[in-house]
Amino acid sequence: WMPSAFSFNILIDGFATAQQRRNAEALMRQMGSNRVSADTYTFNALIKACANTGEPRRAMLYHALMRRAGVKPDAATLSTLAACMDRRRDGARVLLLARRAVEEAAREEVRRRPSASGGGSSGRRGRRPRTVARRRAAYGGASGSKAPQPRPLLDAGACATMLHACLRADDEWESRAIEGARWLWAHMEAEQIEATGGARISMVHLLGRDADLDGARKVFESSPAPRPAQLWREMLVACNTCGDKEFAAHMMAETLRMS
């Protein structure tokens, strides 16, 4: 019996959850000695291990190794990195990585388009229990599969985490954080990624900080009712920052009417 990437990924993720980074790294080295290639799920588990032990630099190192190995990141990669780098107040750096990854994926899609083939399903032989199917999806597909189905590069949760990380950007990263947040929001709209309430709150805050009241209003007004109290509060702060007393008074009247 030869262990598969699926088996290793479950064990590595278990050590990551238990904050045992060294054991997780030892298993990755064992993968190499068994000639088992690390995949996206392997690197995600190692980045998670670094995040759980408070080692953001090491997490970025694994992301660099991931790129060097030609392994593609996914939403979990970027979300975990953003949460990890947020502790150093430079989580906006992950937005730059996300932008680069999205642009690379778009270029690859253009190159692949002329020779794209239909491709069928991944050859499942019958039904499995739902819990087993979910577990296999979380750690890289079936043990015998050569190419597990890739997860999306960005999803609603990853976008919300990255926007929240931008809120805590220090002075050195603030301008790049706001620029990155604008790009991410435009990407979410283009790809029809539904923004969470937390993502909208973060975006209104960032646009208000950048004195872009029109942009903040657009995000606020696109939020479905009932809008959370924190979103109203951030919109009022944006009005105060931009000096729009008339709209601030309208907001206050609406808040009082709803309470």
What's the pLDDT tens digit per position in 72-129?
A: 888 889 888 888 877 666 667 777 888 888 888 778 777 777 654 444 444 444 445 5
3-class DSSP state for residue 30? helix
Q: Work out the number of other CB atoms within 10 angstroms of the CB of residue 88.
A: 16
- Greatest pairwise CA separation for the chain in angstroms: 72
* pLDDT at residue 28, rounded to an integer: 93
For residue 151, pLDDT beyond 80: no
User: What is the distance between the alpha carbons of residues 118 and 104, in angstroms, rounded to a whole number?
Assistant: 22
User: What is the distance between the alpha carbons of residues 136 and 125, in angstroms, rounded to a whole number?
Assistant: 14
* pLDDT at residue 218, rounded to an integer: 94
- Greatest mean pLDDT among 20-34, 139-153, 243-257 lies in 20-34
The mean pLDDT of the chain is 82
Torsion, Cα of 152, 153, 157, 161 (10° steps):
170
Q: How confident is the model at residue 154 (pLDDT cuts 50, 70, 90)?
A: confident
Of the listed ranges 53-62, 199-208, 239-248, the least confidently predicted one is 239-248
For residue 174, pLDDT beyond 90: no
| Cα atoms in the Cβ-side hemisphere of radius 13 Å centred on 102 | 19
User: What is the distance between the alpha carbons of residues 252 and 229, in angstroms, rounded to a whole number?
Assistant: 12
User: What is the distance between the alpha carbons of residues 47 and 41, in angstroms, rounded to a whole number?
Assistant: 10
Do the Cβ atoms of 63 and 34 come closer than 8 Å? no
User: What is the distance between the alpha carbons of residues 88 and 205, in angstroms, rounded to a whole number?
Assistant: 20
How far does Cα 208 stand from its chain's mean position? 23
Q: What tens digit of pLDDT does each residue of 9-68 get?
A: 999 999 999 999 999 999 999 998 888 999 999 999 999 999 999 898 899 899 999 989
3-state helix, strand, coil in the chain (%, to 5): 70, 0, 30
Percent above pLDDT 90 for the chain: 40
How far does Cα 233 stand from its chain's mean position? 26
Q: Which of 218, 227, 159 minimizes the C-alpha distance to 193?
A: 159
* pLDDT at residue 229, rounded to an integer: 86
